[in-house]
Amino acid sequence: MEIIGLPAFRDNYIWVLLKGRDAVVVDPGDAAPVFHFLTQRGLSLAAILLTHHHADHTGGVAALVLGRSVPVYGPAAEAIAEVTVPLREGDRVELTALDVVLQVIEVPGHTRGHIAYYGANTLLCGDTLFACGCGRLFEGSAKQLWHSLSKLAALPADTEAYCAHEYTQANIAFALAVEPDNMALQARASQVNALRAQLKPTVPSTLGEEQATNPFLRCGEPAVLAAAEKHSGAALDDELAVFTALRSWKNDF
């Protein structure tokens, strides 16, 4: 299976999973780049996967399915009109055209019903986990998002994480404010700056890379705890409290 990222809007990625002449599209907020890519490659749209209801992830679905019999998978806990196969924790998505089975993981926090898809060493995580960051809390709680990120972080370290936005440079700037002495993070910053200077994507990353550099997955590290306590001006009793403080700090960074 091949995975191609189609740039959309200012910083979105629409991921396309490919095998042969079949394509599965993830979070198509805009139909135009998808139509162009499918036509250019002579591909057939086999399915659409949605992670959550925000318009920059769903806005192109209606046009893509018009006049076509295409299954649309999405979270059962969110109201998305075009979804034909609602999904919950533990469900499996069998993409027979690609010979791939994906496991559904409920990851509320960014939105109440956000889901991720995991399989074939690939994590499609929408706006929950970003490269060196995490999503904002629009509908859920910090506790929910912390639990969701912990579930994703428990997946194998070599898993490739495909988030939906090119936020990596800004996320690394914040991460360096939290952990300026993290050598792995310093090296990642150099790599990312070089990629963006050439207008190349910084996604996917691996979960192992995130564990080593993403402050939101490193809330148990002494340096992260110290930075969060210094910024918040309060003692923080556990990793959830550290995460909550980091998320609040990032909101205003």
Residue with tokens 């192992």: 208
- C-alpha–C-alpha distance, residues 13 and 18, integer Å: 15
Beta carbons within 10 angstroms of residue 99's beta carbon = 12
Beta carbons within 10 angstroms of residue 83's beta carbon = 20
Q: Among the options 127, 147, 237, 238, which is catalytic?
A: 127
- C-alpha–C-alpha distance, residues 150 and 179, integer Å: 20
Q: Among the options 57, 114, 231, 252, which is catalytic?
A: 57
The two beta strands, 115-119 and 122-126, are antiparallel
Examine the residue annotation and report whether 114 is marked as an active-site residue of this protein.
Answer: no
Reduced to 3 states, what is the DSSP secondary structure of residue 5? strand
Q: Among the options 56, 99, 181, 252, which is catalytic?
A: 56
- C-alpha–C-alpha distance, residues 69 and 52, integer Å: 21
Beta bridge partners of 20: none
Examine the residue annotation and report whether 52 is marked as an active-site residue of this protein.
Answer: yes
Examine the residue annotation and report whether 54 is marked as an active-site residue of this protein.
Answer: yes
Residue with tokens 């988030």: 163
Q: Among the options 30, 52, 53, 114, which is catalytic?
A: 52
Examine the residue annotation and report whether 110 is marked as an active-site residue of this protein.
Answer: yes
Element (H, E) at 10: none
Structure tokens of 61? 């679905």
Q: Among the options 22, 30, 110, 114, which is catalytic?
A: 110
Examine the residue annotation and report whether 30 is marked as an active-site residue of this protein.
Answer: no
- C-alpha–C-alpha distance, residues 174 and 189, integer Å: 11
- The residue count of the chain comes to 253
Q: Among the options 165, 231, 237, 252, which is catalytic?
A: 165
Examine the residue annotation and report whether 147 is marked as an active-site residue of this protein.
Answer: no
Packing angle, helices 239-251 and 222-232, rounded to 10: 60
Q: Among the options 54, 237, 238, 252, which is catalytic?
A: 54
Beta carbons within 10 angstroms of residue 26's beta carbon = 24
Residues annotated as part of the active site: 52, 54, 56-57, 110, 127, 165
